[in-house]
Amino acid sequence: MKILITGGAGFIGSHVVDALVEEGHSVVVVDNLSTGKKEHVNPEAKFYRADLRSPELKEIVQSEKPDLINHHAAHVDVRRSTADPLYDADVNIVGSLNLLESARQSGVAKFIYASTGGAVYGEPVYLPCDENHPVNPICPYGVSKLTVEKYLSFYAHTYDLHYVILRYPNVYGPRQDPMGEGGVVAIFARHMVHGEPLVINGSGEQERDFLYVEDVVHANLLAQQAPGAQIYNLGTGVGTSVNQLFEAMSRMTGYGGQPTYGPPKPGETFKICLDNTRAQADLGWRPVFDLDEGLTRTIHSHRNPS
Measured distance CA(58)–CA(44) in Å, rounded = 23
> Within 13 Å, how many C-alpha atoms sit on residue 78's CB side?
19
Quote the distance between the C-alpha of residue 80 and its chain's center.
17
Q: Is 141 a catalytic residue?
A: yes
Classified by CATH at the fold level, domain 173-207+238-274+289-303 comes out as UDP-galactose 4-epimerase; domain 1 (3.90.25)
Structure confidence by residue, pLDDT tens digits, 120-167: 999 999 999 999 999 999 999 999 999 999 999 999 999 999 999 999
Residue 133: the pLDDT is 98
84-112 residue pLDDT tens: 999 999 999 999 999 999 999 999 999 99
String of DSSP letters for 196-254: ---EEETTS--EE-EEEHHHHHHHHHHHTTSPSSEEEE-S-S--EEHHHHHHHHHHHHT
Look at the pTM and tell me if it is higher than 0.75.
Answer: yes
**DSSP H/E element including 278:** helix 277-283
Residue extent(s) of CATH 3.90.25.10 domains in the chain: 173-207+238-274+289-303
Confidence of residue 265 (pLDDT cuts 50, 70, 90): confident
- The CATH number of the structural domain formed by 2-171+211-235+275-283 is 3.40.50.720
174, amino acid identity: P
Q: Which of 57, 80, 210 is nearest to 144 (CA)?
A: 80
What does the radius of gyration of the chain's CA atoms come to, in whole angstroms?
Answer: 19
User: 267 to each of 82, 83, 130, 140, 171, how far by Cα in Å?
Assistant: 7, 10, 21, 8, 18
Q: What is the pLDDT of residues 290-301, one digit of tens each?
A: 999 999 999 999
Choose the catalytic residue: 141, 155, 172, 255: 141
All CATH 3.40.50.720 domain ranges of the chain, comma separated, are: 2-171+211-235+275-283
C-alpha 94/C-alpha 52 separation (Å) is: 8
- What tens digit of pLDDT does each residue of 5-63 get? 999 999 999 999 999 999 999 999 999 999 999 999 999 999 999 999 999 999 999 99
Q: So what's the pLDDT on residue 178?
A: 86
Indicate whether 242 pLDDT > 60: yes
